[in-house]
Amino acid sequence: MYDFSAYTEFLEHETPETVLVCHHLTIENDDYKSFIRGKFMVCGDNAMLGMFNTSAMPKDRDEEMPTSEPHFVLGRAICPPFPPGLHRVLFGMGCFWGAERKFWTQSGVYVTAVGYAGGSIRNPTYQDVCTGRSGHAEVVLVVFDPQRVRLEDLLKVFWQSHDPTQGMRQGNDIGSQYRSAIFTYHDADHEIALASRKLYGNTLAASAYPPITTQIEDAGPFYYAEPYHQQYLAKNPDGYCGLGGTGIGYPGECQAEIVPIATTYAGQDTGPG
């Protein structure tokens, strides 16, 4: 079983250059345990592993990622200011390439972007995040119109598009940056996300899945990823996508209003042309 209290706890271990990342996961697959032990320094028995990475701690950066390019698919600016009345949510569900594509196709979604959230340094790079030392998750920023699509409908896409019981991995993508996570910007959205986790967790438990490990927190800083990561699978249709759901449906009906993507928001042409 998963120890939620230690899910994202980072502690000093031995020296300031080494940080113990308390990922207390129950790992029963011997091949996976061998892979982890080869990739990380590991302490703990065969059931509960505490993994820590001994690479240098990434540093804060003053330089922000460039965000001037419009969305490759939707043709809109990917950074604020956004039109009034729109909501934002951040979804972490493994590699953000495939995750972003899941959402830019949804009716009522104004724009998407990929980036990093939930970590401890400013303006991380992809290389920083891949060390596992910055604490960030790969996430998708979804900006949506709550009058046209409910958060519950976006959560349905989220839950059904990955396996939220896998802890610090998603399929073959292994590391804390691939953890399942939801970061919300509104109190009401936070409560909706919590309720959806409980609902889907009960559904998965009925099919003998372990508990959901999805982290749900108020959103902190969101840092845009490098331009080549943005809408990666639209630019590279044959690119890698490691997403895979459990095959178990979310127990809620989709009630989103179907609205053409080329809709006008506050006088702005939101279509790609």
Question: Do 19 and 92 belong to one domain?
Answer: no
Percent of the chain at pLDDT exceeding 70? 72
Q: Number of folded domains in the chain?
A: 2
Alpha-carbon span 264 to 89, nearest angstrom: 21
Structure tokens given for 8 = 């994202």
Question: Do 26 and 120 belong to one domain?
Answer: no
Q: Tell me, yes or no, whether 218 lies in a domain.
A: yes
Question: Do 142 and 250 belong to one domain?
Answer: yes
Average pLDDT over residues 96-107: 97
Question: Do 41 and 97 belong to one domain?
Answer: no
Structure tokens given for 210 = 């372990």
Domain containing residue 140: 87-269
pLDDT for the residue numbered 261: 31
Active-site annotation, residues: 95
> Is residue 169 a contact partner of residue 175, using CB atoms and an 8 Å limit?
yes
Percent of the chain at pLDDT exceeding 90? 68
Which CATH number belongs to the domain containing residue 120 in this structure? 3.30.1060.10
User: Which residue type is seen at 154?
Assistant: L
pLDDT for the residue numbered 55: 60
Q: Tell me, yes or no, whether 192 lies in a domain.
A: yes
Q: Which one is predicted more confidently, 19 or 166?
A: 166
> What's the whole-model pTM score?
0.75
Question: Do 101 and 196 belong to one domain?
Answer: yes
Strand positions, DSSP E, the chain: 10-13, 15-26, 41-43, 48-53, 87-93, 109-117, 137-144, 169-170, 173-174, 180-184, 215-218, 222-224, 264-265, 268-269
pLDDT for the residue numbered 255: 42
Question: Do 92 and 48 belong to one domain?
Answer: no
Q: Tell me, yes or no, whether 78 lies in a domain.
A: no
Residues 115-172 pLDDT 10s: 999 999 999 999 999 999 999 999 999 999 999 999 999 999 999 999 999 999 999 8
Average pLDDT over residues 58-84: 95
Residues 189-232 pLDDT 10s: 999 999 999 999 999 999 999 999 999 999 999 999 999 999 99
Alpha-carbon span 94 to 154, nearest angstrom: 16
Q: Tell me, yes or no, whether 67 lies in a domain.
A: no
Question: Do 10 and 115 belong to one domain?
Answer: no
Q: Please say if the pLDDT value at position 78 is more than 60.
A: yes
Question: Do 197 and 103 belong to one domain?
Answer: yes
Q: Tell me, yes or no, whether 66 lies in a domain.
A: no
Average pLDDT over residues 19-39: 37
Q: Tell me, yes or no, whether 82 lies in a domain.
A: no
